[in-house]
Structure 1
Amino acid sequence: MCRHLAYLGIAPISLAELLTAPPGSLYEQSWAPRKQLHGTVNADGFGIGWYPGDPHDGGEPARYRRALPIWNDRNLPELTAAISSTAVLAAVRSATPGSSPDEAVTAPYRSGRWLFSHNGAVDAWERLPQDLGPAAGAITSADLLAGAGRCDSALLWTLLARALNAGRPPVDAVAQLVTAVAAVRPAARLNLLLTDGDTVIATRHGDSLWYAQTPGRVLVASEPTPGLTSGGAGDWREIPEGSLVLATRAGVRSAPLPPGPAAGPGRGRARSGAHAPAPEPLLTVEGTNP
């Protein structure tokens, strides 16, 4: 498992203020997570992605990723103090068994304006494209070789990035990926974060997820960081299991993930070769602003 966080704000925030300075920060969650349901430490790497300058200028986000525990990076304090942004996605990693141990598999992943992180695990992920069948979008060996690296999260990103680059609406693409994977891997844990610097799309499927909406900014994270909000822990709200979340600087909305096999983890692995049904498009996210 992992811990991850996405931030959108009107005003820039320093990476130090967001990720390392507050009590209970993502930095601290690397060795002392409080809400993590699987695993006890996140020491297999970390990554930070941020949008330099004007978040609406269309430029690609920058990234800093390392394949070592976040507390062992002596450059990090100086880096985080010097960089500010209005949109950030960051993660600390606990590797799935069988994953490669290099920076290429460390979130956030990137394609154009998009940044992506996965908190969870997919068993037998090497066979996932075969078992997904048509839901995998005819993914090829060349696609896999060109992907981010050898791990379940990188494979999920390859599948999702293909859908986004093909023009599928992002909310639909995220919901359909979780539905399809959960249909053939019912025990999979699929907490996803996706952002383009203007919106955050997230899922809670198998581990903790929270959000905080305060004037001028929104945070979506694996667990609360009370020091990031004026009201402390009282500003944070837990997102229910089996939810899809759409967050912008103006508000947060949520809806249940599509029903069926994707509604929740824990029912055992589907038989090898079973194909996921093609889900109906999720065209809107219903809900109310908190």
Structure 2
Amino acid sequence: MSQIAAYLGARISLNHFLIEPPLSLFQQARTPQEHADISPDGFGIGWYYSSKPYRYVGTHPIWNDRNLPALAQTMSAPLWTAAIQSTTSATAVTNPSNAQPFHDAELQFLHHGYIANFHRSFKPNCLQYLSPEIAADIEGNSDSEYLFALLRQRLMDPDFVSLEVAIQDILSTLEVSLRDINSSLNIIVSNGKKLIAARHATNQNCDSLYFTNDDDQFPGAQLVATTPLTESAKWHPVPEHHLLVLQPDFPPELTRL
């Protein structure tokens, strides 16, 4: 599974978000905190430039990327997303199309979790629901990318006027279709203006997800991550089965799913 994190606030360097914090994703890739496994199987970083999403990904361990130190020192943005990957699937390791974050022309999408027996239990039904245009955009074979495709499909429906409502609808649908299947559905989605995260699961307990809007190392910023990026006591768990909305000039908003 991927460990995921996102930042929204004043413009900061990639280094400040990804590498410097004592419990950063870069550090947790080799010395995990709440999650026992190291994450040597790839990584991804997302940002926006001129309102368009971009990403930099690798299928090797994040600590072995020779370009990352220079990029981290010289790149800055007001919104960052990132993921580190641990997987038992050889395909996932070698296929950069499976690297997170995923994006389209507007959105970035990260998923921490899994759908048990995905290729038999869920993928066939998912493909029946997707339009040819959305299905054709799927480049990898991960459950995470198919979840993103479902969200993109929902957003094509004019009845879903907000990203939050579309995410809630997707998770409600999955709660029914996966009711007898173990799944972990922690996600982070961004449209470049705000972060929307969900802590959710079916047929099992939810995996961890935390947020903060008051960490001294990120003054005035809002963050969400699978585990806290610092040792500050100002990180709070997202309640199980809740949606979290983080946006500038507003306090964090939590909604029961």
RMSD over aligned Cα atoms: 2.1
1:249 is aligned to 2:253: no
Give CA deviations for 1:28-69 in whole Å, capped at 9, x if unaligned.
Answer: 111222122xx51222110001123xxxx5x21221011111
- Distance, in Å, in 2 between the alignment partners of 1:21 and 1:75 is 16
1:203 is aligned to 2:198: yes
- Distance, in Å, in 1 between the alignment partners of 2:88 and 2:213 is 31
Aligned partner of 1:115 in structure 2 is 108
Question: What SS does the aligned partner of 2:119 have?
Answer: helix
- Distance, in Å, in 2 between the alignment partners of 1:60 and 1:175 is 24
Aligned partner of 1:272 in structure 2 is none
Q: Please point out which of 61, 65, 72 is paired with 1:73.
A: 65
C-alpha contact (below 8 Å) 1:96/1:121 kept by paired residues:
no
Structure 2-normalised TM-score? 0.86
- Cα 1:71–1:242 change in 2 (3 A) is same
C-alpha contact (below 8 Å) 2:134/2:153 kept by paired residues:
no
Aligned partner of 1:4 in structure 2 is 4
Gap regions ≥5 residues in structure 2: 201-205
- Distance, in Å, in 1 between the alignment partners of 2:133 and 2:237 is 40
Q: Please point out which of 85, 91, 100 is paired with 1:93.
A: 85
Give CA deviations for 1:193-217 in whole Å, capped at 9, x if unaligned.
Answer: 0011211111112211111103531
1:216 is aligned to 2:220: yes
C-alpha contact (below 8 Å) 2:58/2:99 kept by paired residues:
yes
Aligned partner of 2:203 in structure 1 is none
| Deviates most, 174-183 or 149-158 | 174-183
Give CA deviations for 1:56-110 in whole Å, capped at 9, x if unaligned.
Answer: x5x2122101111101101110111110000111111123647533111111111
Aligned partner of 1:237 in structure 2 is 236
C-alpha contact (below 8 Å) 1:12/1:85 kept by paired residues:
yes
Question: What SS does the aligned partner of 1:61 have?
Answer: strand
- Distance, in Å, in 2 between the alignment partners of 1:252 and 1:44 is 32
**Runs of 4+ in structure 1 over 6 Å off:** none
- Cα 1:73–1:5 change in 2 (3 A) is same
Deviation at 1:115, TM superposition (A): 0.4
- Distance, in Å, in 2 between the alignment partners of 1:67 and 1:154 is 16
- Structural mapping, 1:40-55, within 5 Å: 40-52=37-49
Partner AA of 1:26 in structure 2? L
- Cα 1:96–1:196 change in 2 (3 A) is farther
1:163 is aligned to 2:154: yes
- Distance, in Å, in 1 between the alignment partners of 2:17 and 2:157 is 33
C-alpha contact (below 8 Å) 1:194/1:202 kept by paired residues:
yes
Structure 1-normalised TM-score? 0.77
Gap regions ≥5 residues in structure 1: 227-231, 258-290
Aligned partner of 1:267 in structure 2 is none
Aligned partner of 2:172 in structure 1 is 179
C-alpha contact (below 8 Å) 2:48/2:192 kept by paired residues:
yes
